Structure 1
Amino acid sequence: MTFNEAIEAVGRGIEVAGAAVMVVGALGALVVALRGLRRAEPDTYRSFRQQLGRSILLGLELLVAADIIRTVAITPTLESVGVLAGIVVIRTFLSFSLELEITGSWPWQPGSEQRDRQNEHGEPDQAPREAGGRELPVPEARRPGGDAHQG
């Protein structure tokens, strides 16, 4: 097996892995969503979209990696590099769009990691945190009359 054949095989393997990640992720998200619908759990649709979106994002990352490996390793021409650049731009745009759909914020916006965290009940962790991730103290709850709760 020559170097070019080996690189082509590696690229093809990564492409297959990317497609498999998307298919398995979609099936897994579907199973979880059907279970949630049967139990009448709230936010089943949102959860399904998030799980499906995450599997698509991971699959797209693998497909981009395969394209880069195959284009760069096998005597790149101006045409093949141009095609690769177009593919990377399109897939990057798709990834950013999916990230926005899943988390509600762009990947570079602060706070996107906080939306991914959950508390001990499986609900989104809404605790305010500093940049390092340490939870900040929450002021005491206010009563409807405006007085601080003295407990």
Structure 2
Amino acid sequence: MEHFQSIVEQVGMAVDAAGVLVIVVGILVASLKAILPSPGPKGADRYTIYRQRLGRAILLGLELLVAGDIIRTVAVAPTLQNLAVLGLIVVIRTFLSFSLEMEVSGRWPWQEKPGRAR
């Protein structure tokens, strides 16, 4: 059983590392695309696209970080205290994800995309 817990802990840490890597690489790529001259939008449009790229990278990274927390908490040490801490972390990160989604797309995640018919 200890061997299984060790493997699951390492998997959780790898998923966390992937989340951090996604955020860092996303920031670098978005920043490079915003800084380097390219044919395309200028001024405010360029800034909006930059913010959207940053937001998408952070959203994806947050999803991976939540997954890593879930893996480690549920599989390794599912105590009531650890589950309560996990619940709080998930609530905070979900709120951040909703806020970022609103910033990136201009709508809440549960709202339909504009121009989409039912």
Q: CA RMSD in A?
A: 1.9
- Cα distance per residue 1:90-143 (max 9 Å; x no partner): 0000000000011111000011xx5xxxxxxxxxxxxx4423xxxxxxxxxxxx
Q: 1:17–1:59: 8 Å Cα contact kept in structure 2?
A: yes
Pair member with larger Rg: 1
User: 1:37 deviation in Å?
Assistant: 7.9
The runs of 5 or more residues in structure 1 that have no matched partner are 115-127, 132-151
Residues 108 and 23 of structure 1: is their aligned pair in 2 closer, same or farther, counting only changes over 3 Å? Answer: same
Greater RCO (CA < 8 Å, at least 6 residues apart) = 2
Q: Please report the TM-score for the alignment, with normalisation by the length of structure 2.
A: 0.91
| Residues matched between the structures, number | 116
Q: 1:11–1:69: 8 Å Cα contact kept in structure 2?
A: yes
User: 1:65 deviation in Å?
Assistant: 0.3
1:16 equivalenced with 2:11 (yes/no): no
Q: Which amino acid aligns with 1:33?
A: A
Q: What is the distance in 1 between the residues matched to 2:77 and 2:36?
A: 49
2:94 aligned residue: 92
Q: 1:36–1:44: 8 Å Cα contact kept in structure 2?
A: no
Residues 102 and 72 of structure 1: is their aligned pair in 2 closer, same or farther, counting only changes over 3 Å? Answer: same
Give me the identity figure in percent. Answer: 53
Q: Please report the TM-score for the alignment, with normalisation by the length of structure 1.
A: 0.72
The runs of 5 or more residues in structure 2 that have no matched partner are none
Q: What is the distance in 1 between the residues matched to 2:63 and 2:52?
A: 17
Q: 1:37–1:44: 8 Å Cα contact kept in structure 2?
A: no
Matches within 5 A, 1:62-77: 62-77=64-79
